[in-house]
Structure 1
Amino acid sequence: MAPGDPIGGNPYGQLLKRFFITFLFGVVIYRFGVMIPTPGVDVETLRGFMGQEAAGFAILAWADMFNGGAISNASIFGLGIMPYISASIIFQLLAASYPALKQLQKEGEVGRRKIQQYTRYATVVICLAQGALAAVALTRIEHEGLPVVPTDNVLLFTVQSALMVTTGSMILLWLAEQITRHGIGNGVSVVIMISILASMPAAMGELFRSDNFDLVRFLGIVALFVLIIAAMVMITLARRRINLEQQRRIQGNKVYGGGQTQLPLMINQANVIPVIFASPVMVALVFILTMAAGWVGIQNLGGILDHDTALYRYIFAALIIFFTYFYISITFDLNDLANHFKQAGFFVRGVRPGRNTVEYIRWRQKRVTFVGATSLALVAVSPGLIASGMEISGNIAHMVLGGVGILIVVGVSLDIIQKTSAFLLANQYQGLMGASDGGPGPKRGGGKRF
């Protein structure tokens, strides 16, 4: 900061600057890019298809929600930030099972930068593959006899579209990194939250335009919305704490150690990653059943797994619970944790160090994971249940009355609140230190990364 800059010594000014950067990159630039369509696509025809023929295709509406309407606009940001998330999950799983990446992860900041670089390379590959597949799919879609892509050169359109959406996704990733570095919170999470929030006004408008809308139903939806938000906040913040004690060491007349701390086990440690795993599996199951129906000549065989059927919800919930256990078993290394406890001299009261400690924490982790997995599965299938019970649109239920989207918004909002409080507390502490040193106030607050 410049010596005469009034923001340099004012933590509230710095916080306002970070909010402005987050708004500029996350709302203004990102939402402007969503409105830029890919050349060669008839956007109006695509929107008509999305509103009618694709109304029963749940995964398409789900992906469009996470992209803030970018798919229905055929935007250059159509792939969104999801390819980067997929690449990050892949490398996170590889780092837990592949020795070379695991060793690279232990090398500190240098190793993390290399893994981050490999993740970006994988993101480009995923974007090119998904962009090409999406372009080919667009060339085969028609609505009311009109093609979505009115062109005869399919190869040229495929290459052009794949390159454009890949470039758009990498620009979006750069915007997210700028938010992380200069704004508030994790940039990737903020971009996803903004995408979800951008879809809410349309859902509310659909609610007000519905034929069965009345004041009593509206008040019931508002009350249910408040209860669901409160439950999601509780799930996000819930921890199971294991008390740890440190061994005492006596050297001469001094006693070292003997401290106490806690190991917090998150109820929802996997966050929404199991849902990201389970959704493509459900799409594949529906596709296989649809293809099998054509082979054996049985009509409506794929209909038994429509997104509004009870069987679909049961299988989806079971997959979420399975992938929650799978993800935590891969990423949560209990042996490393027990070795760290042993080196630091920490132990669980009443449990012998080593293997017994590992088994004890594993037992606790399984119980906590069951609660978290069940809660996540209930959150994922609740919109369909609410939509059937209250006779409202599934889109309204997903956007207003629960679902993974609201869980992400709640989690990111809590993270922003916590980081804002930590930022102000750190600047207050630095101000006290500056005052005790005879200085005028905060001295190092401007360089702190959120």
Structure 2
Amino acid sequence: MFRENEYKILYKRILFTCLIIMIYITGSNIPLIHQIDIQRKDSSFYQIAVSNTGGDISSLNIFTLGLGPWLTSMIIFSLIAYRNIDKTARQTRSEKHYKEKLLTILLSLAQSCFLLNQYVSKEKIDSENIYILLLILVTGTMLLVWLADQNIRYGIAGPMPIVLVSIIKSLSQQNWLQLQTSILVIMLIICVIAVTLFVLLFMELIEYRTNYQDIMNFSNQDIKKYLAWKINPAGSISIMISISVFVLLSNLINMGVNVAVPNHQNNSFLLNFSHPIGITIYVLIQMFLGYFLSRFLLNTKNKTEEFLKNGNYFIGVKPGAATSIYLNKMARRICWFGSIMITTIIAIPLYSTLLVPELSQQIYFAIQLIVLVYIGINITETIRTYLYFDRYKQLLDKYW
């Protein structure tokens, strides 16, 4: 009985996600103007960074900004909620969405202003049309956010399929095959990518397990119960959010510099991936955001209350405050380890572009391939979760 309907809901979700992807591809191929004048020296990786949030600055289209402003607003409210989880839990879904969308509009407006100021030649469009382009870019971003939100409810993996398609599109536009280096260096790059992907897969599969006792269930004392946490709870979402935050921070600082010093020659300032300070700032953003997002997802406070309510305890640890201290200590260790590992995997190739500039395009390709595979792993895990629940849906519906 279960096998007959096992994949029915999953197929519906896959079809809905395919519809979302088709809308995204159609919108990303509707140009707003004929040409964009790329002026920044670090435009190569800047385009890749934007594509990792579903955007595309190679041509000005409806979805050029991607999901960057939305991801940034999500992490801002997540960090706020981390300070007061109880207050956030009392908010309704509509209240949370209203605040997120309002901040998303403000962030997308700021990023649109920077994009038009830096990438669009003033001779190609009239000054009156700037406001129309701003409206279209902000509206396109909010439409893409709505599509991602609908995919969370009725599709698979929320915004990740959109980002996946954006990265594939960006990879197809790169001339990474034109290598001007030796075979030995090429083989070394391939080996490094293979090792990195193996480490990422290993981190996604392994769990940190801690045994605990259940005083409410004496019948199955021989069966060990454990609390399982992933080594990197934040997954690939931390990479997308960190890139979005860095791009937004770079945009705001560059806009401030342009307003204060209109004839400033170095408009890119230091917040770009061709300067060690810019890379270091991004690495720090990735590390701290990955840690705090992982801590937010683990939610040790709720886990402590759940243990106290269900009569669960760790051997040698008293219930209540002692359990909270124990879980926080364990969560800090896990989250810092996972965040530092992911940050190191991204930081090494980024710093390598400073040492070997002629291989920067190939190194950027390697970074994007790593992110692509990481997102693919998370989508696969989501599909496996749907398969698990679909198998027992008819049984669970009787009690839900």
TM-score calculated relative to the size of structure 1: 0.71
Equivalent residue number for residue 162 of structure 1: 134
| Equivalent residue, structure 2, for 1:74 | 60
* Contact preservation (8 Å) 1:78, 1:165: yes
Q: What is the one-letter code of the residue matched to 2:27? A: G
Asked if residue 174 in structure 1 is aligned to residue 146 in structure 2, the reply is yes
Aligned residue among 127, 136, 158 for 1:187: 158
| Cα distance change of structure 1 residues 125 and 324 upon mapping to structure 2, 3 Å threshold | same
AA aligned opposite 2:320: G
Give the corresponding residue for 1:135.
116
Alignment deviations for residues 61-109 of structure 1 (CA, whole Å, 9 cap, x no partner): 344322566222111111111222122222223333357842424xxxx
Alignment partners' CA distance in 2, 1:301 and 1:37: 26
User: Cα distance, 1:35 vs. partner?
Assistant: 1.6
Query: Which among 360, 363, 369 is matched to residue 397 of structure 1?
Result: 363
* 3-state secondary structure, aligned to 2:101: helix
**Corresponding residue SS for 2:66:** coil
* 1:335-356 CA distance string (max 9 Å, x none): 4432221111111111122222
Report the secondary structure of 2:232's partner residue: coil
Report the counterpart of residue 126 of structure 1 in structure 2: 107
Q: Give the match for residue 346 of structure 1.
A: 312
CA distance in 2, matches of 1:132, 1:299: 19
Query: Do the aligned partners of 1:246 and 1:346 also contact (CA within 8 Å) in 2?
Result: yes
Paired AA for residue 381 in structure 2: Q
Aligned to 2:47: 61
Q: Secondary structure, in 3 states, of the residue corresponding to 1:240? A: strand
Alignment partner, residue 362 of structure 1? 328
| Greater Cα offset, 278-287 or 334-343 | 278-287
Instruction: Judge conservation of contact 1:124–1:166 (CA < 8 Å) in 2.
Output: yes
Q: Which residue of 2 aligns with 1:227?
A: 195
**2:7, 2:89 → 1: CA distance?**
41
* CA positional deviation for 1:42: 4.1
Q: Does residue 380 in structure 1 map to residue 346 in structure 2?
A: yes
Counterpart secondary structure, 1:393: helix
CA–CA distance in 2 between the matches of 1:168 and 1:83?
Answer: 12
Mark the runs of 5 or more structure 1 residues left unpaired by the alignment: 1-7, 106-110, 250-254, 434-442, 445-450
Query: 1:94, 1:310 → 2: CA distance?
Result: 30
- Tell me if 1:88 matches 2:74: yes
CA contact (8 A) 1:244 1:263 kept: yes
Match for 1:201: what amino acid?
S
Unaligned runs of 5+ in 2: none
Aligned equivalent of 1:440: none
Residue 19 of structure 1 is matched in structure 2 by: 14
Label 1:283 to 1:58 Cα distance change in 2 as closer, same or farther (>3 A).
farther
Partner of 2:125: 150
Distance 1:158 1:263, change over 3 A: farther
2:146 maps to a residue whose letter is W
SS of alignment partner, residue 371 of structure 1: helix
Whether 2:227 is the aligned partner of 1:263: answer yes
Deviations 1:192-240 (A, max 9, x none): 121112111233xx2222333x655444433332222111222333432
Please tell me the residue identity of whatever aligns with 2:229.
Answer: L
Q: 306-315 vs 349-358, which deviates more?
A: 306-315
- Aligned with 1:264: secondary structure? strand
* Inter-CA distance 216–23: structure 2 relative to 1 (3 Å threshold): farther
Output one character per residue of 1:274-300: Cα deviation in whole Å (capped at 9) or x when no partner.
Answer: 5544565577788999999x8xxx998
> How far apart are the structure 2 equivalents of 1:316 and 1:329?
20
Contact 2:272–2:279, Cα closer than 8 Å, also in 1: no
Amino acid corresponding to residue 361 of structure 2 in structure 1: N
Percent identity between the two aligned chains: 21
Preserved contact between residue 58 and residue 307 of structure 1 (Cα < 8 Å): no
1: CA distance, partners of 2:51 / 2:78: 25
Question: Quick one: structure 1 residues 331 and 211, their matched pair in 2 at CA, closer, same or farther if it must change by over 3 Å?
Answer: closer
In the TM superposition, residue 381 of structure 1 has moved relative to its aligned partner by 1.5
- Tell me the amino acid that sits aligned with residue 20 of structure 2: F
> Would the alpha carbon gap of residues 188 and 160 (structure 1) be closer, same or farther in structure 2, given more than 3 Å must change?
same
Amino acid at match of 2:50: D
Distance (Å, rounded) in 1 between the aligned partners of 2:306 and 2:297: 16
Q: Distance in 2 between matches of 1:104 and 1:211?
A: 58
Quote how far apart the aligned CAs of 1:149 are. Answer: 3.7
Helix, strand or coil for the counterpart of 2:59? Answer: coil
Following TM superposition, by how much is the alpha carbon of 1:13 offset from its aligned partner in structure 2, in angstroms?
Answer: 6.7
Distance (whole Å) between structure 1 residues aligned to residue 285 and residue 327 of structure 2:
24
1:35–1:70 CA contact under 8 A, matched in 2: no
Number of aligned residues: 390
Cα distance change of structure 1 residues 81 and 368 upon mapping to structure 2, 3 Å threshold: same
Q: CA RMSD in A?
A: 4.0
Check the 8 A contact 1:67/1:78 in 2, yes or no.
no
Distance, in Å, in 1 between the alignment partners of 2:383 and 2:293 is 30
What letter matches 1:412 in structure 2? I
Aligned to 1:29: 23
The one-letter amino acid of 1:230's match is F
Pick closer, same or farther for the CA change 1:346–1:164 going to 2, 3 Å: same
Q: Is the 8 A contact 1:34 1:78 kept in 2?
A: yes
**Alpha-carbon spacing, 1:233–1:347, altered in 2? closer, same or farther (3 Å):** same
Separation in structure 1 between the aligned mates of residue 385 and residue 372 of structure 2, nearest angstrom:
20
